[in-house]
Structure 1
Amino acid sequence: MRFAHDTESGLVAAAGLVNTAGPDREGLPDVAALDAFITAHGWTGRHEHTDAELREVRALRPRLRRIWYADVDEVVAIVNGLLRESRALPQLIRHDDEPYHVHAVPRDAPLATRMAVEAAMALADLIRMGELSRLRICAHPDCDNVLVDLSKNRCRRFCDAGCGNRAAVSAYRARKAAAHS
């Protein structure tokens, strides 16, 4: 199943944002890292380049992370809360050579608000389509990253941090060791 461009980019950006935080890592240590994240995920509109904005974006991460562990009713409650708090008002818009897509807050809304609403709108599409199972936790035992499986056959198991390669190497080494035993 193929999702709309804004749905896919919203889901990927939400997962990317969640993965910037973990028990032993801070992927957004400063405003420069936030700038790089924004560029990597194609965010447009207002960006203040301040520590306050960085704190607001960081504060969004635990709430989004919860979505990957929640049942559908809790995901709906989180999504509705994000949309309500942000006073979302969906509108079709076109910019930066992108086709028409939905923005639910103005481009000059605070960055954390826009991130929250983009994630919520993308998640609303998943919920409506019965596709929440595409939200997964990385299958590597030493990783707590989240991922969005946008593959056609729903087979993605590992995040983008190299866990799939590590798992393949471990399996190869185990097979080699078993063959030599």
Structure 2
Amino acid sequence: MIFAHDTEMALQAAVALVNSAEEPETLQTVADLDAFLRRFGYTGRHDRDEAELESVRRVRPRLRGLLAADRDGAVEVLNAMLAEARAVPRLVRHDEMDWHVHAVADDRPLAERILVETAMAMIDVVRADEMSRLGVCADPDCDGLVLDLSRNRSRRFCSTTCGNRAAVAAYRARQASR
């Protein structure tokens, strides 16, 4: 593990949320949002309505900007996010999670909590000088983000689909050159 568990989960959630805007759009319904929250262990307030879904969808460009920024740019963006939310970090323990950091109250809007949790996770990334763990998919037809938590820093594609597409294209190119 490169980062603390809550940091890795927040980063994975942010990348998945940003990539949900790629075609095909995968965050279209409140049920999709419910599944996203279960997958990444989000707790606290969840209104389960269209307004909440839209507010979460609207934070994706801002998260993309943070995750794709250079180190100094990321600091500027995450500091702004934390200041806007008046974040006050505190340690909490709930469900099956041991002590971890929350920085806004559980009753704050979901979109705000997602932004703040991502900003808090990015603090660890910046401090560890690990910005190279974040990048854009190596598939030339994809703009998805990649979070590489592997030891050897070998992850290049945002999804298995993009990796498979690249492998098939490389195979066909080799076959055509024979």
CA distance in 1, matches of 2:125, 2:164: 28
User: CA–CA distance in 2 between the matches of 1:69 and 1:96?
Assistant: 32
Q: Distance in 1 between matches of 2:68 and 2:101?
A: 26
Separation (CA, whole Å) in 1 of partners of 2:173 and 2:82 = 48
Q: SS where residue 26 of structure 1 aligns? A: coil
How far has the Cα of 1:68 moved from its partner?
3.6
Superposed CA deviations along residues 101-120 of structure 1, whole A, max 9, x for unmatched, are: 11111222211111011100
How many pairs are equivalent? 178
Q: Which amino acid aligns with 2:107?
A: D
Task: Give me the whole-angstrom Cα distance separating, in 2, the residues matched to 1:10 and 1:68.
Answer: 12
Q: What letter is aligned with 2:30?
A: V
For structure 2, which runs of at least 5 residues remain unmatched after alignment? none
SS at match of 1:33: helix
Q: With structure 1 as the length reference, what TM-score do the two structures score? A: 0.92
The aligned runs of 1:106-117 (5 Å cut-off) are: 106-117=105-116
Q: Which amino acid aligns with 1:18?
A: V
2:70 touches 2:131 (CA, 8 Å); kept in 1?
no
SS of the residue corresponding to residue 12 of structure 2 reads helix
Match of 2:154 in 1: 155
2:64 corresponds to? 65
Q: Is 1:140 aligned with 2:142?
A: no
Structure 1 CA distance for aligned equivalents of residues 61 and 160 of structure 2: 19
How far 1:17 moved relative to its partner? 0.7
Separation (CA, whole Å) in 2 of partners of 1:117 and 1:68: 13
**Percent same amino acid at aligned positions?**
56
Name 2:6's counterpart in structure 1.
6
**2:57 is matched by which residue type in structure 1?**
R
* Counterpart residue type for residue 78 of structure 2: V
Q: Which residue of 2 aligns with 1:88?
A: 87
| Alpha-carbon distance in structure 2 between the residues aligned to 1:69 and 1:37 | 21
1:67 CA drift (Å): 2.2
User: 1:34 — aligned with what?
Assistant: 33
Q: Secondary structure at the match of 1:150?
A: coil
Match of 2:170 in 1: 171
Counterpart for residue 53 of structure 2: 54
Q: Over aligned residues, Cα RMSD in angstroms?
A: 1.4
1:18 aligns with 2:18: yes
SS in 1 for 2:38: helix
Q: Which runs of 5+ in 1 are unaligned?
A: none
TM-score by length of 2: 0.94
Q: Which amino acid aligns with 1:79?
A: L
